[in-house]
Amino acid sequence: MPFNISGILAAFQSVIHPRLLIPNMIVKDIRCLDFRAFSQAGFKRVVIDKDNCLTLPHDDSIIPELKVSWDELKLEFDPSNILIVSNSAGSSQDAAGLAAESINCNLGVPVLRHTGMKPSHEIVHHIRHYFACTSHPIIDSKYLLVIGDRVFTDVVLANRLGAFSVLVSRDWTRTIKGRFIYIAEQAAVKMARKRLSQPQEPVSQFLKTTKINPSKVVLNYSGSTWTWVGRALGWGHNTGKSPKN
C-alpha cells in the first residue's frame, strides 16, 4: 500500500483539533450494532470500510461470522444507500477497477472510485458528490453513518464529513502489525479525549439488545470519559441523540 500522506497530516492536525480522532462509538464488530435503530433514528446512508469491517485483507468475501449482520444492514438501508470506501479497491491502485467490481459482485454494494486516500478532503468531496447524485439525494451529513476500523483514516474521515462514526476494534487477522497500529491509535484517542471539555451523550440505543458474546466489550464516548455499556450487549441507557433531534 502506498504511503498515506493524508493520514500522516491528519495525525498532525489532531494536535490542534483532537476531536478529529474521537469516534461516536467503539464496538467489537458490526454484530454489536442495531441497524434498524439507526434507520429509525433518521440515518439514510452508510459508508463502510472493507478490511476487518466486512472481509479479511486481500479477500472479497464477507467474513462468515458477519454475514447475518451484513444482510441486516443491507435490508435496513438498501444496497443503493451503502457505499464501500477503501484505500485499495476503487482507488488509483485499482486502475482497471477489477477489485472494485469483484467486491461489488461478492458483497452486493457499490465501491467508491477515487484517486485519493482516506481521510483526505478529496475523499470527503467524492463521498458527498456520490450521495448528492443519487435518485434520492442526501446532502446533510448528519444522516450519514461511517463505519471503519482505523482512527486516522475512518474516524477522521467521518468527523471531516460531520457524520456519525463507529470504530470497530476487532482485528480478524491478529497480526503483530495490526496489534501495534491498534495500540498506537488507542493511545492517540486517549490523549485526544483528555483535551476535550464538551461532553457528548451516550448512544446506547444503537446497540443490539441481544447477547452475542460475553467478551464483546462495548464502549460509549461521553466527552471526557468512556463508559462501559457492559460485557454483554444491551446494558446501556437510551439517552443518545439522533439526527431527528
To the nearest whole number, what is the mean pLDDT of the chain?
A: 81
What is the DSSP code string of the chain? ----HHHHHHHHHHHH-GGGG--SEEESSGGGB-HHHHHHTT--EEEE-SBTTTB-TT--SPPGGGHHHHHHHHHHH-GGGEEE--SSTTSGGGTT-HHHHHHHHHHSS-B---SS-TT-HHHHHHHHHHHHTSSS----GGGEEEEES-IIIIIHHHHHHT-EEEEE---TT--HHHHHHHHHHHHHHHHHHHT--S-----GGGB-SS---TT--EEEE-SS-EEEEESSTT-S------TT-
pLDDT beyond 50 at 219: no
Q: Worst-scoring range by mean pLDDT, 19-33, 43-57, 134-148?
A: 134-148
Instruction: State the pLDDT confidence band at 230, using cuts at 50, 70 and 90.
Output: very low
Grid cell 464502549 in the structure block, residue = 219
Query: What's the Cα-to-Cα distance from 219 to each of 26, 128, 214, rounded to whole Å?
Result: 5, 29, 14
pLDDT beyond 70 at 109: yes
Output the pLDDT for position 243.
Answer: 54
Instruction: State the pLDDT confidence band at 85, using cuts at 50, 70 and 90.
Output: very high
| 12 or 29, greater pLDDT | 29
Output the pLDDT for position 227.
Answer: 40
| 187 or 38, greater pLDDT | 38
Q: CB burial class (10 A; 0-12, 13-18, 19+) of residue 87?
A: buried
Instruction: State the pLDDT confidence band at 137, using cuts at 50, 70 and 90.
Output: confident
Residue range 67-81, pLDDT digits in tens: 999 999 999 999 999
User: What's the whole-number mean pLDDT along residues 72-98?
Assistant: 91
Instruction: Report the candidate in 195, 166, 169 with the shortest Cα–Cα distance to residue 181.
Output: 169
Output the pLDDT for position 52.
Answer: 92
Q: Worst-scoring range by mean pLDDT, 88-97, 119-128, 147-156, 165-174?
A: 88-97
Report the range out of 135-139, 181-185, 232-236 with the highest average pLDDT.
Answer: 181-185
pLDDT beyond 60 at 210: no
Query: Domains of the chain by range and CATH?
Result: 5-198 (3.40.50.1000)
Cell readout for 234 is 444491551
Output the pLDDT for position 16.
Answer: 82
